[in-house]
Structures are given as structure tokens and as C-alpha cells.
Structure 1
Amino acid sequence: MKILKSLFKEQYNPDNFFLIAGPCVVEDEALLMTVAEKVSTICKRLNIPYVFKASYRKANRTSIHSFTGVGDVEGLELLQKIGQTFNVPVTSDIHSAAEAAMAAAYVDILQIPAFLCRQTDILLAAADTGKFVNVKKGQFVSGEAMKFAVEKIEQAGNKNIMLTERGTTFGYQDLVVDYRNIPIMKSHGVPVVMDVTHSLQQPNQTGGVTGGNPHMIGTIAKAAIATGADGLFIETHPDPANAKSDGANMLRLDLLEPLLEDLVRIRQAVYQPGVQHS
């Protein structure tokens, strides 16, 4: 979609999907640099527009003992450094209206967590920054109902909006993906992203750490491209088993390149270059 051109600039490629990828949380500078260098190199080769993602702070952890970040300003400064070093947009999530202006000084896209997608004050505060706003569809919300999130941001004067599908609650400890939500949310006139890794979470585990099914990442991603997703969201880490957040559902970094190669071939097979698709 044309609004993506202002985000990606020279990276913009209307004939391919875009990728939002990085570790779940800012752990340290070395990790961010390792992931950003690897993923940006792959994306340049495959002509995939790339957004680097990491949370500067994790506010929605299951256990009080879970790692939450290295400090707000410290984390945001590292994200800004990644964007400047690799010349890519960067994104992070916010968890309150008060965080919007602070985070907007460092990142290009403000991500609204799924649990907060109905929170009007957060949506309006994010919209007021003028940055791109990526709203994750709540696990409890239909694709149709996400039009109200879009309307709130648009009414605040911001047209730079994305919606992200991340699965629907199924029982207490599982999620399922309803791929009807991709074309439904695209009908709201905004780019739609498939959050591949979070849709494979197994939340609310009694041990206090969210589980996951990373072996299904390829399946979810391929189906998303085939059903028209404009972008993919994939959290990745060199050593997920020792990641400080969401290791159970992240993709190991060395597995990303062959997956993206497959996904580019699927995109080329399904969509004719130069043709706009609804």
C-alpha cells in the first residue's frame, strides 16, 4: 500500500511483503546488533522491506520475576542506534498513553499490544505523535471490530495505520489463527501484518512462563502470505532457549533465511508483480 512508501523510502517494494523482525526484548546492544545485521543483510538480498523490532520494556509479563528490560531510555536509545546504523525503521510497543510521546522520539512505529487494542487513550496518544501506529488485534476481538481502532486513529488525524493479526484465544492455554481476519482487516483500508510467532504462544502456563509451538512458524507464515498478508512479524533470536522473553515461540536466527526464501517464492507464485491486490 502507498502509505508504506513513506515508511520504507528506498526500501519500498510493492511487489513483496515486508518484515518486522527482531528479538522480543532489548537484552543488550550486542544482541540487537547481531540480529539487525543478519536480518537486514538477508532482506536486502531478497528485496524485502525490513523493520527492526524489540521491546524497550516488557510490561505484560506473566511472572513478577520475569525480565522487563534494561531501562526505558537506555532501551530506546539502543533501538534508535539500530535504526541509524542499518538505515531501517524501528518499532517497539507502548503500554500507556504517557509512553507514546517518549517512545516516538526514538522509533518509527508505535506498536499497541493486543490486550490494549480497545484502549482509546493509548490509541489517541499514539496517533497524536504522527508516527505509524501498528495495532495488534486483541485475542478476544474480531477482525471486523478492528475498524473501530482504525477510526479512532484516523479521527485523530493520523492515516499511518497498520493492523496485526496474532491469533484468537482458544480455551485458556492456546491460540488459533483465523485467516479470514487478513482480508477482513485489509477491507478497513490499512496494511495487515501476520504476527507469526505470537500466534503460536501457549499463554497462562502454571509455571509462569508462556509456552509456544515454534515448529509451526513456517506453516503460519506461508498461509499468511498465501491469504494476502502485507507484512510478517517474526521474533527471532540466535539462542531462543536462553532468551530473556518469549524464547518458547521465537524462531532461531539461523532458520530465518531459508524460511524467507520460501516465502518470497510463495509471494511470487500467488501475486503477479505490479498488480494491486485487495
Structure 2
Amino acid sequence: MEFLQQLFQNQSYDPKSFFLIAGPCVVESEDLVMEVANDVYAICKKLGIPYVFKASYRKANRTSASSFTGIGDEAAMQLVKKVGDHFGLPTTSDIHAHEEAAQAAKYIDILQIPAFLCRQTDLLVAAAETGKIVNVKKGQFVSGDAMKFAVDKIRKAGNDKVMLTERGTTFGYQDLIVDYRNISIMSAHNVPVVMDCTHSLQQPNQTTGVTGGNPQLIGTIAKAAIATGAHGLFIETHPDPSCAKSDGANMLQLSSLEELLVQLVKIRKAVVE
């Protein structure tokens, strides 16, 4: 938790470093969250990268009504908390409505606002009022500059612990592009900025009802984000993305994470020296 205190209490952070938010898209089972957390924790400890465990307790935004949404909110939140307690990690998960904020705050350290809901005032205020860190994902339809209004809503509700996450911009009906100017633009709102390296590669609105993706480009997105000064990276990862119950098409194979992070540490060091 020390690096979070540096971010929000001292308003400073080592420019040579970056933090990682990572985990499976959704809580599928206790075995899965523990396996992913264990492996990512070990890698990050070895490389000196601060780590936040991520898993959604529920996927409220799915293309098809038949898509998996979760194992139940309470059970999933308890598992996220169990991971945090076991490994001594901060945790994060999405919230989808204002009435979820107080409940989720009992289990989770960073409340994440989904991109489609980044302008939802009652949700932002409810998250702020918990006193937890609030990470707002930039909507696919919103400019980096316009995200200042989301930040203002949270701060006016009495909470200065705000993060913003870039996750791509809608490009046509079935693709996203990343405008790296947004990392600098959103940093100017005096908040840490995270690059979502997996959701930014989604190919939404497929006629199959299953979102596609370009996971082969995760490294490209991550390297560019580190070079342009992102404070943190968001990477969803799974031991076998082909079997994942949500967003498997754009997740990183867990076995590929360490090699990528080694490269990213080298890039960040080269950029700041």
C-alpha cells in the first residue's frame, strides 16, 4: 500500500517506476484468482513493480444476455478481499451503480468506474463518498481533456484520491484506437494516469455477440504507454485466455507477462535517465 500513499498523500511518485493493475477479467473461481495473484505477485516482487490485484466481482456490461456475469456479488467480493489479505495487496474491481459503492468499499481498496459510466454523476459521487481511491476509465466517446469533469465531481464530493485510465477511443463500430496524447492531457488534471493495455485492443459489437480483440498488440500498447509517461498499466491476464469466461479475446497469456514486464522496466529506465 506504500506506493498508493506516495501517490495520494505525498503527491509524488518515482518517475523511474510504474505500477501494475492486473488479474483476470472476472472472478471465475477461488482457484483462478489465487493462481493469477500468486504468479503476478511473484513477478512484480522480483522486478520491484508495485502491484494491484484486479478482478471484477460482476460483469454488468456484456454483449449477449447469455454471457457469464459472475459467481454472485458477495461471494466474488469476498474472494477479491481474500486475495488482498493473503498477499498483502491493494485490490480493485468495477462498480456499476451508486448503491454498490458502499458495499464494495467494504472489500475493495480502489473502486473502478467503467468507461461507459464515466459521466454518471451519482455513481462518481457515491464512489467518492466511500473515501476509497476512485479510478475512472475514460469513456470510448470522451476526450482526455473532458475527463476533468469526472475528476471535479469526485473532488467536489470531498475525495482527492482520483485516478484516470485511458482505454482507447471508438473508431468505427467495431474497433478502438489509442491516442497517447491523452496520457499527458489527463496527467494535467493532477491525477495518476493508467493505460489499459487490454481493453484498448477490444473489437466490440461483433455480430457473434462475443467481443473480439488483438492481444498480439498488448506489448505495443504497453511499451508506448511506458515511453509516454503513464504512471501505471492495467493488464488483464489469464492462464488460458481461450477458456476465460469474459474478455478472453483480448487478455494476455499469464505465461507471457514476465517477459513483457522485464522489457517495460528497461524502457522506463531508458526514458527517464
Per the shorter chain, which TM-score range? over 0.9
Question: Any residues of structure 2 matched to 1:61-100 within 5 Å, and which?
Answer: 61-100=62-101
Alignment TM-score, normalising by the size of structure 2: 0.96
Equivalent position amino acid for 2:242 in 1: A
Distance apart, 1:127 and its partner CA: 0.0
Quote the residue 2:35 is aligned against: 34
Quote the residue 2:162 is aligned against: 161
Distance apart, 1:5 and its partner CA: 2.3
Q: Structure 1: which 5+ residue stretches go unaligned?
A: 273-278
Distance apart, 1:268 and its partner CA: 0.3
Quote the residue 2:180 is aligned against: 179
Equivalent position amino acid for 1:143 in 2: G
Q: Distance in 1 between matches of 2:221 and 2:8?
A: 25
Runs of 4+ in 1 over 3 A off after TM superposition: 6-9
Q: Structure 2: which 5+ residue stretches go unaligned?
A: none
Distance apart, 1:3 and its partner CA: 7.8
Quote the residue 1:235 is aligned against: 236
The answer to whether 1:268 aligns with 2:232 is no
CA contact (8 A) 1:19 1:51 kept: yes
Deviations 1:181-233 (A, max 9, x none): 00000000000000000000000000000000000000000000000100000
Deviations 1:84-104 (A, max 9, x none): 000000000000000000000
Distance apart, 1:13 and its partner CA: 6.7
Aligned length: 269
Percent identical residues:
72
CA contact (8 A) 1:170 1:176 kept: yes
Alignment TM-score, normalising by the size of structure 1: 0.94
CA contact (8 A) 1:8 1:88 kept: no
Quote the residue 1:275 is aligned against: none
CA contact (8 A) 2:118 2:136 kept: yes
CA contact (8 A) 2:177 2:200 kept: yes
Deviations 1:52-84 (A, max 9, x none): 000000000000000000000000000000000
Quote the residue 2:253 is aligned against: 252
Deviations 1:218-273 (A, max 9, x none): 0000000000100000000000000000000000000000000000000000013x
Q: Distance in 1 between matches of 2:50 and 2:140?
A: 27
Deviations 1:115-160 (A, max 9, x none): 0000000000000000000000000000000000000000011011
Quote the residue 2:171 is aligned against: 170
Q: Distance in 2 between matches of 1:232 and 1:69?
A: 24
Equivalent position amino acid for 1:205 in 2: Q
